[in-house]
Copies of this chain bind each other. A is one copy, B any other.
């Protein structure tokens, strides 16, 4: 069985890199903190006797040999980057849980039929560079390589240059593009498991999402002299458009929408702003509903902008359809949960995960454990050690079963 103490100590060591005042972590992708975390993880992998390598998007792999090394490996992992105000478990649990699986196999001297590889994907969060799940998506050849390498963060830093700067630009041939399967353990980041009092979520798929960026152009003018009816106030229009987006969403069951990022220009107290740019994140389990909503948002925002005599551009940043995971792996996971008599349920994931893109190239499924109060992407994010133990134990059994298939 897995060793909870060892795992919790390892998670705690990760939480010390980029620590925030209230116990959370800020470890944006390809920053110095990410670099520090990566070298610690590399060392841990080596300490377990894994063969390590890094691919051309900075994804890190550690390989444990099997009896038959010609066979495709079982791949398990997640990401070690975090949100700017992130928690200790989002992503981290999946990578360090996979590391604990390896340590346990070593403890028990178990040899598997297939090799096992654990993985840390680059820039899963999408907080610094959009799109999210960049490393896994790039590995699965969902994105254009040059576009990804040239992508800029909000401050203008370039993905490819940052990757080189922190020393994690590896080789294309190091990508694992033909695994036997992929499994990812993650915190739920929502309230469903807690509400239903289950310890394990067996994830059947991931809901689709659309990421848009709206840019309003009005006109700057003096706040002290310009009559209200002569203004083209981009902040005023933005506030109306944003309120409208949320109001439209209220009508549609299960639809989630958020404007998380907003910027005004010139952003000065006594000048009416001529530009506001904001993001729109839309999610729904049914792709048609999501697409209809997106259309509705685009139309009604355009009309409202027209009425105010201003201009609006809406750009698509990212768009991913709802995906279903492998029935075979789902069953292996359910068997493992049942073997230990852990309470479990099937569920759809609200958040995107690296498993999303891996699912495009190999049989994939995920395990969730409860997030207290359903909180994530915040410092308060928490999961109990009991649930963490159960989750990693099910991951262990799942990996072991798959590696002997």
Contacts and interface: CB of A to CB of B under 8 A. Distances in A.
B258 A233 contact: yes
A92 interface: no
A223 B375 CA distance: 11
A211 to B, nearest CB: 6
A209 interface: yes
A343 interface: no
Contacts of A84: 266-268, 271
Given A242-B239, A243-B240, A266-B83, A127 B271 contact: yes
Given A225-B376, A378-B219, A262 B235 contact: yes
Greatest chain B CB density within 10 A among A221, A317, A376 is at: A221
A260 B239 contact: no
Given A239-B239, A240-B243, A243-B243, A224 B189 contact: yes
Interface in A167-214: 188-191, 207, 209, 211
A348 to B, nearest CB: 10
Contacts of A240: 239, 243
Given A223-B260, A256-B228, A269 B239 contact: no
A298 interface: no
If over half of A's interface residues share one DSSP class (helix, strand or loop), that class is named, otherwise mixed; here it is: loop
Contacts of A225: 188-190, 349-351, 374, 376
A93 interface: no
A397 interface: no
A242 B236 contact: yes
B189 A270 contact: no
A283 to B, nearest CB: 5
A269 B317 contact: yes
Nearest to A271: B377
Given A83-B220, A236-B259, 5 more contacts: A83-B268, A226-B376, A230-B374, A258-B270, A260-B268
20 contacts: A83-B270, A127-B270, A191-B226, A211-B270, A223-B258, A224-B352, A225-B374, A226-B350, A227-B256, A228-B256, A235-B260, A236-B243, A258-B270, A260-B267, A260-B270, A260-B271, A261-B268, A263-B263, A263-B267, A272-B377
